[in-house]
Structure formats: C-alpha cells, structure tokens
Amino acid sequence: MSGQRKTWWGDFATTDFQDIDPMETIALLPIAATEQHGPHLGCGTDATIARGMLKTLIPLLPGDLDLRILPIQSVGKSNEHLHAPGTLTIPATVLIDHWIALGQSVARAGIRKLVIVNSHGGNEEVMGIAARELRVTDGMLVAKTSWSRFGKPDGLFSDVENRFGIHGGDAETSLILHFRPEAVDMEKAEDFASTVAQDEEDYALLRATGTHAYAWIASDLNPGGAVGEAAQATKEKGQALAAYQAQGLVTLLTDMRKAPLPRSR
C-alpha cells in the first residue's frame, strides 16, 4: 500500500500505532443496522448507507488529517422492526458493552479522540450511553452524531419528506439509488404516509419523534414498514445528499482535531 493514504483501521500495521499524537489522531466508529426498510429496499440499507457515505467522505478529508476508520458495525438495536422478517437486532445492553469495549481498544492503541457516526435511528440512545462511559472510564473525547444530523441541501426534498421521512423514504431511497441502485425496487416504492401527521392534528405536544416523543415500533408509523416519499427518489438527489452530509462530517472532524482532550477522568 506504499504511496496510498490509509484510512481503514484494518489497513494499519501494529507499527503504525507507535508514536501516535493523541491530539491529532481521530478514530471513527461507523454504526448501522440490518433491518427491514419496506418492500422496496433491502434489509442492509443502513449498512449500505454507512459504506457509501464513508467512500464519499474519504476523498474530502484534509491531507494532514490522521483518521482511522473502524469496521462498520452492521447490526445494531433494531427491536422496533422485529415484526418484519429479515431484521437482525442486538440487545441494547450488549451493544453498550460492545461499543465501550471497542472504544477502550482504541484508547489502548493510543488514540483518545473518537467520533461515532450513525446511520440508524434506533442506535441513538445506545451510542450516547457508550460515549459517556468512555469519557468517564478512559478519559476520551467522544463525539456522537448521525449522518442525517448534518441536514439536507435546501429544496432537495419536499416539506413532507423533511418532516416525516425517517425510514425508507425519499432520502434513504435516493441514497441507495446513488450507492447501489440494483438494491432498489422502484416498482414497489410508494409514498408511505406517516401517522405522525395525524398526531400533529390531535395533540399539542405528543409526537413519535422530537422533544416529547412516545416509544414506537415501525408498524405504528406505517403498516408498510417505511415512512416517507420513496416514490419520489432519484440517484441525483442521493448524490447531492451524500456530498452534503459527508462535508458536514469533515467539518466535525476538523473541530475534533482542534478540541482539547479532557483534563481529567
């Protein structure tokens, strides 16, 4: 691999971890899921998005940024999709221990800055707990984020999609059309309406997502298992969205490199 930039953890030799500057080197832990995404997308959608986003990210990285990307965690907490065959899930308590153990392995390698980047909503609470524990037990600086938190280009998606399209809708379907078009069956793609729209009419504060959220499973939001305007998806939207969100992560990684390490445990 002489002359090629290394970014994937598994490509670094053990000698490449000698003399690491803990202020400069950052580890990236991509977490995803394997679960149903409606009739038009495969169960590997979230993992495919993780891989595609990382491939988009790597060419955008500053040349002097020492980033080491850990193996993609392709199975997460997906018990909200257990009603649908093909879904794989790991209990939250097991995932917490697993991701903490990975973070501690990173720390033992001399790296004390870690970013967890997520492509599945069901992992949100779990990664937060793991991140806090790594700060407490190992004195690490850990940032947690999701690709979707970096937003979307203005005007790329409809207001309905932006408000309700949280699973297998226009955004995710467009990403898969860009990353792996053979994994999409557009003949089965629909505009999967969300019950959250009715919640907004019925309740002042109560929602499935947001500030005052109730716990739900996917079929509560739409019996088809997807939510959003999947029929409107295009690969061009997916390409634009991927570039936009990958650039957002570059900005976060730049911030992480500047940020000081915790002073104490």
Residue carrying structure tokens 């939250």: 92
Q: What percent of the chain has a predicted confidence (pLDDT) above 70?
A: 98
Q: Is 6 helix (H, G, I), strand (E, B) or coil?
A: coil
pLDDT given at position 245: 99
pLDDT given at position 265: 66
Q: Which residues in 193-206 are b (16+ Cβ under 10 Å) and which e? A: bbbbeebeeeeeee
pLDDT given at position 16: 97
CA distance 146 to 64: 24
User: Which residues in 140-252 belong to E strands, given as ranges?
Assistant: 141-146, 191-192, 228-229
The whole-model pTM stands at: 0.96
CA distance 54 to 132: 24
Residue 170 tokens read as 């226009």
Mean pLDDT of 229-239: 99
pLDDT band with cut points at 50, 70 and 90 for residue 3: low
pLDDT band with cut points at 50, 70 and 90 for residue 263: confident
Mean residue pLDDT across the chain: 97
Cβ atoms of 175 and 181 closer than 8 Å: no
Res 1 pLDDT > 60: no
Res 209 pLDDT > 90: no
Mean pLDDT of 101-126: 98
Cβ atoms of 53 and 13 closer than 8 Å: no
CATH 3.40.80.10 correct for 9-17+25-258: no
Q: What percent of the chain has a predicted confidence (pLDDT) above 90?
A: 95
Mean pLDDT of 178-197: 97
Alpha helices in 124-181 (DSSP H): 124-138, 159-164, 170-179
Q: Is 28 helix (H, G, I), strand (E, B) or coil?
A: strand
pLDDT, one tens digit per residue, over 137-177 is: 999 999 999 999 999 999 999 999 999 999 999 999 999 99
Cβ-based neighbour number of residue 26 at 10 Å = 25
pLDDT, one tens digit per residue, over 94-105 is: 999 999 999 999
Mean pLDDT of 225-245: 99
CA distance 231 to 240: 18
Res 241 pLDDT > 80: yes
Q: Nearest Cα to 80, choosing from 120, 51, 45, 122?
A: 122
pLDDT, one tens digit per residue, over 49-63 is: 999 999 999 999 999
CA distance 54 to 109: 22
Res 83 pLDDT > 70: yes
pLDDT given at position 4: 78
Beta-bridged to residue 29, according to DSSP, are: 116
